[in-house]
Amino acid sequence: MLRLRILGINSGTSMDAIDLSLVEFTQDDPDSPLYMKPLKYAEMPMDLAVKQDTLRIILENKSSPQEMCELNFRLGHTFADGIARFLVDQNVDLDRDIDAIACHGQTIWFIPQPGPGETKSTLQMCEPAVLAQRFGKTVVTDFRAAEQMAGRQGAPLACFQDALSLVHPTLNRASQNIGGIANVAFVPSERDGGLDQSYDFDTGPGNVLIDAAVRFIANGEREYDKDGEMGARGTVYQPVVDEFLKDPYFSAPIPKTTGRELFGDATARRLVTEMRAKGLSDDDCVATITRITAASIVDAYKRYGPRLPLHEVYFCGGGSFNPNILEHIQECFPDTKIALLDASGITAASKEATSFAFMGLECLVGRPLIVTKIEVQEPTVLGKITPGRNYLSIVEQVAAFHKGRKTQDSGPWLPAVRDLRVWKNQTRPKELEDPRLK
């Protein structure tokens, strides 16, 4: 029997926090259902100096070899500090409760569709040797590179988990993540193709423009629009929204993905400056930029959603707690149930960190993820392994799990998991309760 506890870690485009999700996975053999049990989740603050230096490098698109060398290790120590605090705050025993760490790191640059003279590439930073040495655990990192080398774009990456956890016999569903960048996974019912017809793509900006606008307006004294307060006080200036949605990204065919390279701080500052010149208040600016996120999601559904009734949409990521976004989407889809992802057993806040825990498991076991129907179908195992002091025990556990199975039975990889059972009885923190779901 396979039994591993993986600590999944993520810091998204917004860099608002380090998300940590401890997940237990059990499976009797490679052909049996995989059971996922989320155990603990927390958000740890990002070191402000590291965050500011990282954002500056991304915004200015320039640095030095020395600065980049140091930043990789500084981010490693920052993530390690987050893990150490997580262990204390969540009463987690390092030796007993964690077998491996799966860390996405911090995305620095991303070129999914290279232009003339460019190379398809992606750069995530958080030196895994720092984590492996400090905690003695085997670390899996850098999940996007293998996706790109297989001919895919490298993002979004979580459709495999969305499809497995949300597929329903008769209901067509979507999982909408609103992190720094927003992405959607459409999961048709089993009668309409289910797992094999699921697909995802980035809809455009999520929180990244909103957060950047708030930082600019508040001169760095605020990092985001808490509970959508500024946006709720302001009035949307629709001409700016309409003009913004003419950006070629929104009409580009899928599959597609994006990042700060297109929707970043410079864009937010330009929008705020232009709206201030028109006499709009700062609250109006935030309301309008928030509407850009919501309207781009609606536009993506209408352009690229399956030509099927959309029965339910489950939201996750920090933007799922911004009522100004969800209310507009509900107005545009009045017959669709809007809810947080929690109903699937994975909380809205923990989804991405939990996904990376899942990816780390599949890398260690040697299984590819389910590939969405609109991309290159080559099975690919994602991630790079940095051995920790417990590496031999990990190898022994995985080897025992494979015992009796011949390589030629399935080619170079075990087949992708197609039966996931998520435990739904974990305690939900009160601060994450959503009255709309009661």
Residue by residue, DSSP assigns 389-418 as: TTHHHHHHHHHHHHTT--GGGTTTSPPPP-
Element holding 363 (H helix, E strand): helix 351-365
| pLDDT higher than threshold 90 for residue 63 | yes
Instruction: Give the pLDDT confidence score for residue 432 in this predicted structure.
Output: 34
Among 109, 107, 143, 105, which residue's Cα sits nearest to residue 126? 105
Q: 232-279, pLDDT tens digit by residue?
A: 999 999 999 999 999 999 999 999 999 988 998 999 999 999 999 999
| pLDDT higher than threshold 90 for residue 422 | yes
> What percent of the residues of the chain are helix, what percent strand, and what percent coil, each to the nearest 5?
45, 20, 35
Output Rg (C-alpha) for the chain, integer angstroms.
21
Mean pLDDT of 20-35: 95
* Lowest-pLDDT range of 173-182, 197-206, 406-415: 406-415
**CB 381, CB 413: distance < 8 Å:** yes
* Lowest-pLDDT range of 8-17, 87-96, 213-222, 332-341: 8-17
Rounded CA gap, 107 and 313, in Å?
A: 27
Tokens encoding 357: 């825990």
DSSP 245: T
Instruction: Determine the 3-state secondary structure of 129 from DSSP.
Output: helix
| pLDDT higher than threshold 80 for residue 90 | yes
Rounded CA gap, 50 and 74, in Å?
A: 7
Among 163, 121, 189, 113, which residue's Cα sits nearest to residue 372? 163
Domain 159-344 has CATH 3.40.710.10: no
Domain residue extents for the chain: 2-157+350-426, 159-344
Tokens 């799990």 sit on residue: 401
Tokens encoding 75: 């981010």
**CB 139, CB 83: distance < 8 Å:** no
Instruction: Give the pLDDT confidence score for residue 409 in this predicted structure.
Output: 60
**159-344 shares the fold of 2-157+350-426:** yes
The total of other beta-carbon atoms located within 10 Å of residue 408's CB is: 7
Rounded CA gap, 407 and 403, in Å?
A: 11
In sequence order, which residues have a C-beta less than 8 Å from that of residue 438 and are 6 or more positions away?
none
Which pLDDT band holds residue 220 (cuts at 50, 70, 90)? confident
In sequence order, which residues have a C-beta less than 8 Å from that of residue 68 and are 6 or more positions away?
57
The total of other beta-carbon atoms located within 10 Å of residue 300's CB is: 21
No. of helices (H) and no. of strands (E), the chain: 15, 13
Instruction: Give the pLDDT confidence score for residue 431 in this predicted structure.
Output: 37
Q: What is the CATH number of domain 2-157+350-426?
A: 3.30.420.40
| pLDDT higher than threshold 50 for residue 179 | yes
Query: Residue 247 to residues 30, 153, 241, 266, 345: CA-CA distances in angstroms?
Result: 45, 20, 11, 15, 36
| pLDDT higher than threshold 60 for residue 426 | no
Tokens encoding 191: 């009668």
> What angle, rounded to 10 degrees, do the helices at 48-60 and 65-89 form?
140
In sequence order, which residues have a C-beta less than 8 Å from that of residue 201 and are 6 or more positions away?
156, 183, 184, 254, 255, 256, 257, 300, 304, 374
Q: 97-132, pLDDT tens digit by residue?
A: 999 999 999 999 999 989 999 999 999 999 999 999
Tokens encoding 408: 């030629």
Q: 357-402, pLDDT tens digit by residue?
A: 999 999 999 999 998 888 898 999 999 999 999 999 999 999 999 8
